[in-house]
Structure 1
Amino acid sequence: MGWIILIIVISITAYAVKHLLTSTWEGQVFSFKNFLLLTVTYSVLLIGFATVFTVFTMEGIQVMQMVGGVSSFWELFSTATYFSGMMLFSVGNGEIIPVGIGRWITLLATFLGHALPVTVVWTLIFQRAPSGLK
């Protein structure tokens, strides 16, 4: 069951990133629509990577090494969400260390967390540039 959930989550996450990168942005750089699109995409990424870490852990594949243990599903998911957020929004690991295949998943999360804002800013600059620069 965990693997089916994993496939669904990866599909939804890939769709969210594709939708963000192919969306047309409103004329204003700071608009509610643009902010909402980024917020929803990052929320999907955050929950998606947390689900990936949780499913792998529940299937017995160690992807993160935590200080202290977890006693319930929700505690594991909460820890995975925290770890996912650290990877998407910063560079630090803190008290959770990726291990095994978790290092590659963490690398992907970190890359997306840093590449998406740059892509969005570059797209906004490109769309607002005079026609001679395009």
Structure 2
Amino acid sequence: MGQVLLVIIGFLSFYIICSSIAILFKHPGLKEHLMPFGYVAVLFVIYLTVIIGFGLLFTVTGLLGLPVLEGAAGFSEGSLWVVLHETVYFSASTLFSLGYGDILPIGIGRFIAIVEALIGYLLPIAFVLTSVIQHNTSAD
């Protein structure tokens, strides 16, 4: 009974989150201020490719024997899937500036992490500026 309740709560939570996000695209009173779904889709794809790209960069650099990440067990175990999982996780937490601290960049990994964090800061700014310029151009 307890697991069924947890599953129901999980689905309800997922529905509430999706409904809240959908308001950005469907709210009738804010139609002129809403961003098109295509903008969000493009931003999602950009974030996803940057995360995967840097994850692969961390993976390749680490597999070449250069010190990249500390606390990532996959490099010592030798399992490629574990390494990919940990490097993509680290890449996402770096890009979104979360930095949980369970995996730390070392050596050349610090430089790679700085570049990724910089991109993580610049992407939203570029997205907003592009949206504003596009909106102003279409309004004229």
TM-score by length of 2: 0.67
- How many pairs align? 105
Alignment correspondent of 1:44: 49
Question: Mind listing any 5+ residue stretches in structure 2 that lack a counterpart?
Answer: 1-31
Q: Does 1:85 align with 2:92?
A: yes
Give the partner amino acid of 1:60: G
Work out the percentage of aligned pairs sharing the same amino acid.
Answer: 35
1:41 CA drift (Å): 0.9
Give the partner amino acid of 1:106: A
Question: Mind listing any 5+ residue stretches in structure 1 that lack a counterpart?
Answer: 1-26
C-alpha contact (below 8 Å) 1:54/1:77 kept by paired residues: yes
Alignment correspondent of 1:127: 134
- 1: CA distance between counterparts of 2:82 and 2:137? 51
Question: Residues 35, 130 of structure 1: CA spacing in aligned structure 2 closer, same or farther, 3 A cutoff?
Answer: closer
CA deviation map 1:17-61 (0-9, x unaligned): xxxxxxxxxx97521211111111111101100000000111101
Over 2 Å off, 4+ runs: 126-131
CA deviation map 1:103-134 (0-9, x unaligned): 11000110111101111102212333389xxx
| Of 97, 100, 125, the match for 2:104 | 97
Q: Does 1:31 align with 2:40?
A: no
C-alpha contact (below 8 Å) 1:88/1:109 kept by paired residues: yes
Q: 1 or 2 for the larger relative contact order (CA 8 Å, sep ≥6)?
A: 1
Q: Which structure is larger by alpha-carbon Rg, 1 or 2?
A: 2
